[in-house]
Structure 1
Amino acid sequence: MSTHTATRPAKTGLALPPSWPSWPDGADRSIGHLRAMRSVRAAIHRSTPRRDIPIMTTTESRLPNPSVLIPELKDIGGALYKATGNGTIPQTTISLLQLRAGQIVGNTYLIVLHTRDLRKAGTAEESITAVASWRDAPYFTDAERIALELVESVLTPNPSGERVPDELYARASEQYDDKALTTLVMAIGQVCFFLPLALIGKPLPGTSPAEQWRQ
């Protein structure tokens, strides 16, 4: 008759708890060992601070005020604002699509800017919150949905074909006449023009124009 004495697990470099269990012979021991080791590793992982995720403490933009460096930017910005403000598209629709653009590229400055514009215009909080999930939200008109779909199509690749297919253009034409649709295109172009400044220059979100850029 042979006997077998249960042994404690080999050292693994981990500090094991003082109440480390003893296991019976055979398969149950290996299963228990595995489960216990997983519990120890999970506890160590939870208690170890993550060092690979930087904490953002930005107090100034990367670039100084671009309109000071390149004064012509004021003229360009003013012309774009005038072009999109011709009255054929509600300003709230423009702010909705520009907020969606900021969400797509993951830029806090643009998200805060256009969220604030929508609140000033009296847009319901439910509508603002639902912009990121507009497809199944009940808060938007058909015209607003087309505007949001267009900006998404422009800014995200379509693996199965054109970014803006004929079918989408046809639906947009049902909601907007030629001038209004061109204005909508310019509104998308307006936010896309300033995307590089927002992403690379990193103006401070939620501050006055004088405080957005470092001096």
Structure 2
Amino acid sequence: MQSRMKSPAVIVPEAMQALQALGKALFASAEQTGVPNRTLFLAYVRASQINGDSVCVDLHSRNALAAGDTAERLMTVAAWRETPHFSDAERAALALSEAVTRLSDRTDPVPDEIYNEAATYYDEQALATLIAGIATANLWNRLNVATRQMVSDSAASAPRETSR
């Protein structure tokens, strides 16, 4: 398979700048509110798995490893409910990531049960950061999937940015 075109974010440089600024703002907010980068990356990996975005699965898995996560945990993100590797707060973030990613799968896309569980672990700003981050991951997924962006061999060895 090969990409249909360059990423729209590359073709429209102002969009790339805006998305990079958003990513930096979200990680700054995460730092202020105590949301671990590892948690954000787990949520991003899960959204990217659901959406079939290999570029973002690769990127955020590598970012998670660089942030101190383990390969064992990353290999089990898709089956997070059936593994003991995640804390209750991480499970709440993963459930929220799935719900926000699968909006059309149910009549109440983000039910109170999922939202309230996340709200027990994350205050309002932290929850806003997590939701905005998941939405941003979904945006990148849609850009990459629509244009069939591919993980390149050179990308596998290149340093990764951590701001998205």
TM-score range, shorter chain: 0.7 to 0.9
- Give the 5 Å matches for 1:16-55: none
Residues 1:178 and 1:137: Cα distance change in structure 2 (over 3 Å): same
Aligned to 2:72: 126
Q: Which amino acid aligns with 1:199?
A: V
* Contact 2:7-2:143 within 8 A present in 1 as well: no
Sequence identity percentage: 36
What 5-or-longer segments of structure 2 have no aligned partner?
159-164
Distance in 1 (CA, whole Å) between partners of 2:133 and 2:119 is 16
Aligned to 2:50: 104
Residues 1:148 and 1:120: Cα distance change in structure 2 (over 3 Å): same
Q: CA deviation at 1:65?
A: 4.7
Distance in 1 (CA, whole Å) between partners of 2:11 and 2:60 is 25
Q: CA deviation at 1:79?
A: 2.1
Larger Rg: 1
The count of residues paired between Structure 1 and Structure 2 equals 151
Partner of 2:6, secondary structure, is coil
Distance in 2 (CA, whole Å) between partners of 1:151 and 1:84 is 15
* Contact 2:7-2:144 within 8 A present in 1 as well: no
Distance in 2 (CA, whole Å) between partners of 1:188 and 1:101 is 7
Partner of 2:76, secondary structure, is helix
Higher RCO, 1 vs 2 (CA within 8 Å, ≥6 residues apart): 2
What 5-or-longer segments of structure 1 have no aligned partner?
1-55
The TM-score with structure 1 as length reference comes to: 0.64
Aligned to 2:130: 184
Q: Which structure has greater helix proportion?
A: 2
The TM-score with structure 2 as length reference comes to: 0.82
1:64 aligns with 2:6: yes
Give the RMSD, CA atoms, in angstroms. Answer: 2.0
Distance in 2 (CA, whole Å) between partners of 1:65 and 1:122 is 29
